[in-house]
Copies of this chain bind each other. A is one copy, B any other.
């Protein structure tokens, strides 16, 4: 599991062995069961979470009780309610596991220690957020201007292989269509 997060970090910065050890000493491993909550709307997000195995989903529930999925975090992705994590205010999102999921977490305090001791991590998270920004920008555009089948193509590009790993109803929800429509669309 540690190897996975080190490879994730190595995509953007190189660490010495000593730096790796310090980084790993700040992390916490956890396994969450299918349908277990990592965060509930209204709670406070105190961790940045890396997914080593499985898949998390981040969603919100509207006044009509309908779920809206904002993002998936499959293996090798990060997750968290960033607004709540930064401000310490109540989270707008709920995060749960779609399958049994192994995660690696870093608390806000430990992340500050990390930035202080190994400033290269500023670069790492700068690049991480930069990429997340691009993904979200695409998501906004495709919600605004694209047809469901275009959004489906975009989904496959963003999350290669995920379609086979999680229940179809979640993908339908992410795409903003009914499960029936999604299933008909897939067959075409």
Q: How far is the CB of A54 from the nearest CB of chain B, in Å? A: 22
Name A's B-contacting residues (CB within 8 A).
Answer: 60-62, 66, 68, 70, 82-83, 86, 92-93, 115, 119, 122-123, 125-126, 129-134, 136-141, 143-146, 176
Alpha-carbon separation in the docked complex, A119 to B123 (Å) = 8
Per DSSP, chain A at the interface is helix
B60 contacts A92, CB within 8 Å?
no
A140 in contact with B86 given A60-B145, A122-B123 (CB within 8 Å): no
Residue numbers in B under 8 Å from A61 (CB-CB):
145
Q: How far is the CB of A111 from the nearest CB of chain B, in Å? A: 11
Closest to A87 in B: B134
B144 contacts A60, CB within 8 Å?
yes
CB contact between A70 and one of B68, B125, B144 (< 8 Å): that residue? B144
